[in-house]
Structure 1
Amino acid sequence: MKRQFKSMVENFCHWETHTPDSIFLKQPHGTEFRDFSYQEAGQQIRKMAQWLLSQNLPPRSNIGILSKNCAHWIMTDLAISMAGHVSVPFYPTLTDEQLRQVLVHSDCQVLFVGKLDAWESMKGGIPTSIRCVSYPSYYEGAPSEFENWESITKITHPLASFALASYEEVSSIVYTSGTTGVPKGVMLTHQGLISALEHTREVGLLDTSNARFFSYLPLCHIAERTLVESAGIASGGTIYFAESLDTFASNLQTANPTHFLAVPRIWTKFQLGILSKLPQSKLDLLLKIPIVKSIIRNKVKKGLGLAKAELILTGAAPMPSSLLEWFHKLDIQIREAYGMTENMGVATIMPPKYKKGTVGKPHNGVTIKIDPNTQELLMKAPWNTVGYYKEPIMTQELFKDGWLATGDMASIDEEGYISIIGRVKDMFKSAKGEYIVPTPIEGMLAVNPIIEQVCVVGTGLPQPIALVVLSEIGKNTEETQLREVFREMIKRVNPHFKNYEHLRKIVVVKEAWSVENNMLTPTLKIKRNVIEKHYHGQLEKWFESPEEIVFEN
């Protein structure tokens, strides 16, 4: 008989009792790993929960976490829940102004501060009224000026028992990454998580023994929170972490996860890394030789650290079909998952029968329909958010007669597969008065390995133009050849769209878009409005240029 899932902290306590010596968290530190068994992590969690209770905070206070992914991030999350409070994680890449905005809006009472890259430039955003606790000093970038986790747990007795008030209570407030506008605090409940776990236990392989997860995408993002932290704890698995960008590849190889999630940009980087060692023409040739084909596939999977992966997912942004199929040829069966913070990232998943151009079918428990007027995807599920924190008007706008309005335009085919057309808010109007959806155009351009990033713009222009950032392969290609490739791309892409959607230009921009220059969200999605604003003064000049392919000066 299968074990009934409960809240995240109760799921943890099950394994703390039944498999106390199993490794729960593996934190890299140089060439070594600091291992936390379920029992040892439990002691740390219970001590910090006891300390939080000793602070006499109001019941169900909002407690913040500001850190890159690490073992203490997850222990903090569980301690907050065990103490009966609400966890509120923040992106570790926020500026001081952005941090202050969400700290104040969330009514944060205590803030746990850990592994960070830019603490000195962030700390000015923390109001003096908020009490801070820092993670152990072996985390690079952890501040030293606050009470320390280790000093607190040395003198605090572990909490013996606890009880959640109600599964209907809010367990966490997750702030959206803010592709447009101010981030919103999405309220998620214990019951929502339980329902999501129960409805996805088969497809998520949550009953797999010795499951291993690799945590590197921001834990404050719903995909990592649900598919790594929650699923890892529910399955009684081991969660490995990446120490840094430099050690990412070796950390992933060591983890050799059974469950792995990556966003499209990561898959693109994996592809470019493979092609830099094995050019496409040679790869195609080797994959035609039966004996060699198997060797190549195994070597690539082992090199990436995915030799033992049973569930490989992509999400958070659209994945080009050609990229999925490229990996399928290497026997890396990536399954696209679609969701958003407001539905815990759990809406659809690609079934074993892959269908090009779709994001699969709805999960069990999900009901979907399309708004006939706007083509917006509407959904119902028992794990949908109960609303936005302190934003009743936005909460009201989020639901249409009880249906969650996703903001995504979509279609459903006769087999029940969902295709995402683009964001309702991403549509822009050309000078001809026609509405253009940029996402499908971007998807067709992004398949070429010379392109690292692409954003189709054109508000007020007669025709859209594509802004592109070159990949390393593109940067190493002669300009004459690049121009020819881009001209061919325009000829290939335009016939798939209506005349008013045809690309007039491709503009190669100099600066790569990143989280640091505010062009990307922390989950590596483009901030379309920021990019358009940045290049606004040049768009008309580029459009009027006699050249079809323009290079930014």
Structure 2
Amino acid sequence: MIHKTYQEGEDKMSYTPQLLINNKNDFPNESALSTKVNNEWQTFTWSKYYDFVIKISKSLVACGLKPGDKGSIYSYNRKEWFGCYSALQMINSASVGVYHTSSAPEVEWVVGNSDSKIIFVGNNPNDNDEKEKMPIHRLISVIDNLDQIETIVLMGEDIERLDHDKIITWDEFINKGKSINENSILDLMKTIEASDTSTLIYTSGTTGNPKGVELTNKNFEVELDSVLEVLKFNQGEKYVSWLPLAHVFGQLVDNHYWVRRAMHMHIVDSPLNTVDYAKEVQPHLFISVPRIYEKIYSNLKAAIDSKAILKIGLKIPGLSNVFKKKLKEAAGFSNSRFAISGAAPINPDILKLFQSLDIPLFEGYGMTENTAGITINYHGNNKIGSVGKCMPFFNIKIAEDGEVLIKGDNVMKGYYKNPEATNETIIDGWLHTGDVGEIDSDGYLSITGRKKEIYVSSSGKNVAPLVIEETMKSIPIVSQCFLVGDGLKYCSALITLDLGVILRDKLGIDPNQIPKDPYEQNQMIVDNGKNLSDYTDNKEVHAEISEEIDRLNLNFSNPEQIKKFSILPRDFSIDE
């Protein structure tokens, strides 16, 4: 499938650092970024945000960073994350995002392999005050193995200052750059070339250490131009940032599209609070992985099923718009013009319910190696069950073995310091995704699974577990699903329960009173005189799940259907 050719611009006006300057000049007093401080919104205008970035840029130069150098950012989303990323871009250095949940060995590998000279350390909002989960403690446990790190910057007063000669506070860092002239920063920005590495994003495979995907300025420019062919938001429209900024989806939208369209960013303080922030902000654009939509779907479905007036009202012309408006507002989508689901398959039932409520939720597909997006469904071009048509300027095709292949200027420069893996992945200009899919006669792509994850049943049938697992996770009481069936006669599943749904549906707790943290949810179950085992071993719960599995099995061929399942006594941990 071939789409119109991309025509590259002749100047650097569309690179993100220059666009930030444009926003400072064109919208100096308009809202750019909002974050909560002591539960109150604090807002940066574009002028104020630009000044923030310049201060960081000057301090980076004072710390010895030059064009082509790398700087790591180890934290969950916060205003300093955005500022450091923008500043590294401004001086033509490359950012290296490190997930806030990364273990000490993972941090050691990513920071060391990337040759980072400086690392910014922030917070893990879900560390439960356990030091072994805090980024600064994990980093310090391996810092002696990272000789190339010259400076460790704490991203705020909320980060514990440990005793190490490389550690400096945020204020100490900013003070370093006071003698640097702003013009010297702008001169560095002028050195930016299309082929320069903009960021390194580390992706995990099934074996070995994560590989650093090198994405260039041109990769982001072309990807953004393609997105803008199908999706245009306006200056000042709202967006919530919750996807970790170490993720390509988060970086593309939160760090680049945000600036490109001069939108108003609202930073979520914890992934657990994403839905609450959406309800408060009512964003125009929302992006997520399926899990968040599964949670919202569960709450919407429970509200509709429990109230006869809603069931009836949604079917009556005139009344239906009133009820839809209330449900959309309750879910955080009253202003939504576009919501995207990616990174994993989403159950079509979720898409159907959202779209029936006039919530424009669409599924797309892509990967880190192609700068996030390659196909997308959108208004007027939507086929539920597919991941959409190929986006403008790019090509996709299906190899003889069913693998999805991608070509375009959004394809990565390569894996950092790993030419062997690069040559195995990009062959004759085509990116080999590792995903198996089909393109129908209308040009819509469907993903059926990962080549390496597809297993063969004892009857010889190929089974792709990912789509089946994600479909089963739409069962309200199910938190996670893991398929078992390689070499066996049939598929079985290991299932874990959603504690929030137990509290809501089994114990009758008001959803607004249910904590977001799983530890607190479990304690609330105990405080109500129950234990998780009262539900994992419960015949009625088993029957409820069995009935839903039987219904969802109809979406799959007989060898793909789940014949048996077991409920585990606890949820999977992030390390599993």
**What is the TM-score normalised by the length of structure 1?**
0.86
Q: Say whether the 8 Å CA contact 1:211–1:232 is kept in structure 2.
A: no
Show the counterpart of 1:310.
Answer: 337
Whether 2:60 is the aligned partner of 1:52: answer: yes
Residue deviations 1:256-278 (CA, integer Å, cap 9, x gap): 22211121100111122334555
Whether 2:477 is the aligned partner of 1:458: answer: no
Please tell me the residue identity of whatever aligns with 1:352: H
**Matches of 1:237 and 1:300, distance apart in 2:** 25
Whether 2:541 is the aligned partner of 1:482: answer: yes
Show the counterpart of 1:159.
Answer: 182
Residue deviations 1:110-138 (CA, integer Å, cap 9, x gap): 10112334235412133453133434535
Show the counterpart of 1:125.
Answer: 142
Please tell me the residue identity of whatever aligns with 1:251: Y
What RMSD in Å do the two structures reach over aligned CA positions? Answer: 2.5
Whether 2:275 is the aligned partner of 1:268: answer: no
**Matches of 1:346 and 1:319, distance apart in 2:** 16
Please tell me the residue identity of whatever aligns with 2:288: A
Q: Say whether the 8 Å CA contact 2:214–2:416 is kept in structure 1.
A: yes
Q: Say whether the 8 Å CA contact 1:379–1:404 is kept in structure 2.
A: yes
Classify the secondary structure of the residue corresponding to 2:118.
Answer: strand
**Matches of 2:313 and 2:539, distance apart in 1:** 30
**Matches of 2:154 and 2:42, distance apart in 1:** 14
**Matches of 1:179 and 1:91, distance apart in 2:** 18
Q: Say whether the 8 Å CA contact 2:32–2:265 is kept in structure 1.
A: yes
Task: Please identify, of 479-488 and 58-67, the stretch whose mean Cα deviation from structure 2 is larger.
Answer: 479-488
Classify the secondary structure of the residue corresponding to 2:562.
Answer: coil
Please tell me the residue identity of whatever aligns with 1:176: T
Please tell me the residue identity of whatever aligns with 2:349: S
**Matches of 2:208 and 2:47, distance apart in 1:** 43
Q: Say whether the 8 Å CA contact 1:199–1:363 is kept in structure 2.
A: yes
Measure how far apart 1:243 and its partner are: 1.8
Please tell me the residue identity of whatever aligns with 1:125: V
Please tell me the residue identity of whatever aligns with 2:448: I
Show the counterpart of 1:360.
Answer: 388
**What is the TM-score normalised by the length of structure 2?**
0.83
**Matches of 2:313 and 2:181, distance apart in 1:** 58
**Matches of 2:112 and 2:83, distance apart in 1:** 24
Q: 1:108 aligns with which of 102, 105, 116?
A: 116
Classify the secondary structure of the residue corresponding to 1:63.
Answer: strand
Task: Please identify, of 489-498 and 40-49, the stretch whose mean Cα deviation from structure 2 is larger.
Answer: 489-498
**Matches of 2:83 and 2:240, distance apart in 1:** 16
Please tell me the residue identity of whatever aligns with 2:217: H
Task: Give the unaligned 5+ runs of structure 2.
Answer: 1-8, 128-133, 507-534
Q: 1:397 to 1:291 in 2, by over 3 A?
A: same
Measure how far apart 1:303 and its partner are: 2.2
**Matches of 2:263 and 2:477, distance apart in 1:** 39
Show the counterpart of 2:44.
Answer: 36
Show the counterpart of 2:311.
Answer: 284
Q: 1:180 to 1:352 in 2, by over 3 A?
A: farther
Whether 2:85 is the aligned partner of 1:87: answer: no
Measure how far apart 1:192 and its partner are: 1.1
Please tell me the residue identity of whatever aligns with 2:81: W
Q: 2:249 aligns with which of 209, 213, 223?
A: 223
Measure how far apart 1:322 and its partner are: 0.6
Measure how far apart 1:78 and its partner are: 1.2
**Matches of 2:65 and 2:551, distance apart in 1:** 62
Residue deviations 1:129-170 (CA, integer Å, cap 9, x gap): 3133434535x4465662223233245145222213411111
Show the counterpart of 1:369.
Answer: 397
Measure how far apart 1:196 and its partner are: 1.1
Q: 1:241 aligns with which of 251, 257, 267?
A: 267
Measure how far apart 1:20 and its partner are: 1.9
Show the counterpart of 2:531.
Answer: none
**Matches of 1:193 and 1:504, distance apart in 2:** 45
Q: Between the two proteins, what is the percent identity of the paired residues?
A: 28
Q: 2:86 aligns with which of 65, 78, 89?
A: 78
Q: Say whether the 8 Å CA contact 2:242–2:271 is kept in structure 1.
A: no
Whether 2:375 is the aligned partner of 1:348: answer: yes
Show the counterpart of 1:213.
Answer: 239
**Matches of 1:493 and 1:271, distance apart in 2:** 16
Q: Say whether the 8 Å CA contact 2:31–2:236 is kept in structure 1.
A: no
Show the counterpart of 1:504.
Answer: 563
Q: 1:11 to 1:370 in 2, by over 3 A?
A: same
Show the counterpart of 2:168.
Answer: 147
Q: 1:24 aligns with which of 14, 32, 42?
A: 32
Task: Please identify, of 397-406 and 414-423, the stretch whose mean Cα deviation from structure 2 is larger.
Answer: 397-406
Task: Give the unaligned 5+ runs of structure 1.
Answer: 520-553
Show the counterpart of 2:427.
Answer: 400
Q: Say whether the 8 Å CA contact 1:134–1:142 is kept in structure 2.
A: no
**Matches of 2:276 and 2:136, distance apart in 1:** 29
Q: 1:456 to 1:66 in 2, by over 3 A?
A: same
Q: Say whether the 8 Å CA contact 2:226–2:391 is kept in structure 1.
A: yes
Please tell me the residue identity of whatever aligns with 1:67: S
**Matches of 2:343 and 2:89, distance apart in 1:** 26
Q: Say whether the 8 Å CA contact 2:497–2:570 is kept in structure 1.
A: no
Please tell me the residue identity of whatever aligns with 1:369: K
Q: 1:134 aligns with which of 153, 170, 177?
A: 153
**Matches of 2:317 and 2:112, distance apart in 1:** 61
**1:320-339 equivalent positions in 2, closer than 5 A:** 320-339=347-366
Classify the secondary structure of the residue corresponding to 1:202.
Answer: helix
Which of structure 1's runs of 4+ aligned residues deviate more than 6 A? none
**Matches of 2:138 and 2:556, distance apart in 1:** 45
Q: 1:81 to 1:210 in 2, by over 3 A?
A: same
Aligned residues: 513
